[in-house]
Amino acid sequence: MNASQRLQIFSLLSREITEPKTELKYRSHFQLLIAVILSAQATDISVNRATRPLFRDAPNPETIRDLGVEGLTPYIRAIGLFNTKAKNIISTCNILIEKYQSRVPRTRAALEGLPGVGRKTANVILNTAFGEPAIAVDTHIFRISNRTGLARGKTVLAVEKQLLKTTPENFLIDAHHLLILHGRYTCKARAPLCQNCVIKKLCEFPGKTELSG
């Protein structure tokens, strides 16, 4: 796939997805961080269901820290790995309070130093909260990148590096959410909706449905 085709793909996706943003609900950088930590191996719907009452009752690092692991657990019990996530969130709140004046740091190194925050979570925060050209390669982006030919790689890091290198500069900020939303609703894993896909003519997926129009 060449640079012109990549530009066409992102141009078409941006026309189709007019609001490329996360579907997680939050009102602060801190709440976004907590929601993203919770979203590992969980759906945005389940996270939003949990964080609605959590953020109502405990909207900041101090109030969540005061809940403690035992107080936080009932809010997130329906989310996978809730025991580990509860411990990580309380530890993260303590670090934010003691080291960062309750603010979310905006460097990769600082973010990845927080419990429960890996490269993917750090990329989400850098991109969504701070507008950095970072791409968090989740299962959707990994699948789409390899399936379409946008960025082929055997690991998420390889795909991330390739996307950062080849994505047109004016789409680097929005690429993350354009690809995730396209994967979530159109380029699905088991039954991609090729007939509804705006980039089907540019896609290199050998199994795509060839439909006219």
Per DSSP, the residues of 14-53 read: HHH-SS----S--SSHHHHHHHHHHHTTS-HHHHHHHHHH
What's the confidence (pLDDT) of residue 1? Answer: 87
Q: Which domain holds residue 48?
A: 29-128
What's the confidence (pLDDT) of residue 212? Answer: 37
**d(C-alpha 199, C-alpha 5), whole Å:** 10
Q: Tens digits of per-residue pLDDT, 48-88? A: 999 999 999 999 999 999 999 999 999 999 999 999 999 99
Q: Is residue 146 part of a domain?
A: yes
Note whether 85 and 107 are same-domain residues.
yes
Nearest-CA neighbor of 101 among 109, 110, 75, 72?
Answer: 110
Note whether 10 and 58 are same-domain residues.
no
Q: Which two tokens stand for residue 79?
A: 């989310």
DSSP 3-state assignment of 96? helix
What's the confidence (pLDDT) of residue 71? Answer: 98
Note whether 157 and 120 are same-domain residues.
no
Is the C-alpha dihedral spanning 174, 150, 107, 97 positive or negative? positive
CATH number, domain with residue 164: 1.10.1670.10
**DSSP secondary-structure letter at 135?**
-
Q: Is residue 205 part of a domain?
A: no
CATH number, domain with residue 91: 1.10.340.30
- Compute the half-sphere exposure of residue 139: CA atoms within 13 Å on the CB side of its CA: 9
Domain count, the chain: 2
CA angle, 94 as apex, 89 and 97 as ends, to 5°?
A: 120
Q: How far is CA 160 from the centre of its chain?
A: 13
Note whether 114 and 181 are same-domain residues.
no
What's the confidence (pLDDT) of residue 18? Answer: 95
**DSSP secondary-structure letter at 60?**
S
Helix axes 119-128, 156-166, angle to 10 degrees: 30
Note whether 145 and 166 are same-domain residues.
yes
| Residue pair 111/121 in contact by the 8 Å Cβ criterion | yes
Contacts 24+ apart (CB under 8 A), 166-171: 166/3, 166/6, 167/6, 167/10, 167/135, 168/3, 168/6, 168/7, 168/10, 171/10, 171/11, 171/14
Question: Tokens 């530890």 label which residue?
Answer: 91
Type of residue at 61: P
Note whether 105 and 147 are same-domain residues.
no
Q: Is residue 209 part of a domain?
A: no
Note whether 41 and 103 are same-domain residues.
yes
Positions in the chain whose pLDDT score sits under 50: 210-213
What's the confidence (pLDDT) of residue 209? Answer: 54
Catalytic residues, by residue number, are: 120, 138
Note whether 161 and 123 are same-domain residues.
no
Q: Is residue 204 part of a domain?
A: no
